[in-house]
Structure 1
Amino acid sequence: MILDPIGRDAARELARRELDKPIYHRDRPSWLERLWQRFSEWLHELTDRAGAPGAHGNGGGVLSLIVIVVLAAVLIGLVVWVMRGRRNVRSQAEGLLEEGPSTALDHRRAADEHAAAGRWPEAIRERLRAVARDLEERAVLEPRPGRTADELAAEAGAALPDLDDGLREGVRIFDDVWYGDRPGSAEEYGRMTALDDRVRAARPRPLQPAAESEVEALRW
């Protein structure tokens, strides 16, 4: 049996299909790895130009130094912006609830009004205030003027251990938008609303027998 010879175009197509098989690309770097490699090579080239003998005479070294300084400044600024809300001293000193009577319902209404107007930092703050006031109204937490957001997360997390992570995340969002000057978003406000709903439905952890015994002992 004589097989028809394969033409040049058909052979090229068969070779292309064969090389497209995943087995030939298992060790190929991802697009992110390739991008990082190109950036590293470009940065290495800049540093070589900046330090090359005679580079400053033709202006190439100076330009490379300027680019490196700008990149470093942008990187430092980005790190400061990301960490600003989490390291702001005010977040560890200012009380979350203002003096004067208020209810959790008052704060929820205020939060929804701010959200409707797109004022996300104010809306997020009022939602966290609603959480704090709700816990006080249900005697989960003792009313205490000046309680900070961080203290709220720690104390409420001890009383509601299943919500400890959610409470800390809510405080982080609050710190980022209120003290870190981030704009906030509808998605973040939605997470705060979900946290408020979970806290309202949660029941505090009952006292342990040892703790109850200590309370009885104090009474006597």
Structure 2
Amino acid sequence: MASYQKEQEQLNDILNGQEYQIYYQDNRSLLERLWDRFVEWIQKILNYIFESFNPASTTGNIITMLTAGIIIAIVLATIIAIVMITIRKKRLSKRQLFNQSEELSWSYRDHLQAAHDYETKANYRLATRHQFLSLLLVVDEHEWLEARQWKTNWDYYDELKQTNKAFAEDFYQLALFFEKITYGKHPITVDEYQSYQSEINRWIESIVEQTATKETGER
């Protein structure tokens, strides 16, 4: 009996020893362990949805890998979309468009006149700025957005996507040019200014006409 107890103690010592226990340790990397847990999570979901699902089979393994690939693709696409939106948002400056509060109280015609005055002085940077602000105020009058001193071009673009998606895309391009000239100190040629002025005036005339038609119809 004493011999049996001694042998049992020796066996326990061996089983508890480092040389034996090392075989039970998880020596996989963190990434490998996370992947296995991810696969197990997918298998549990598939097993819950499909009663006949067998993760140990070849078909089950293929379905698991395909599902994992789809989930990873969706996650990556979401991350890329968020990054792209963030980059796009940063492209529109966080600067306030109206330098002074009284500029917001001007009519769009006042800004057009200011643009004309700067144009005659060959100051196309400031002329471009007032051209853009005149458009912004016309759009405000047409109630596609609400002009406020604290708002940025991104705020306006976000509003326009809800009220007029077609114009929102043109506004985005016009806003980018405005910011490049106004804040980026990008030199502007006469041809560039005239092209921008033509596009601004085209939209102003169109929106003013729509506003007049709307008011006539309401009478």
TM bucket, shorter chain: 0.3 to 0.5
Give the structure with the larger helix fraction.
2
TM-score scaled by length of structure 1:
0.46
TM-score scaled by length of structure 2:
0.47
Greater Cα radius of gyration, structure 1 or 2? 2
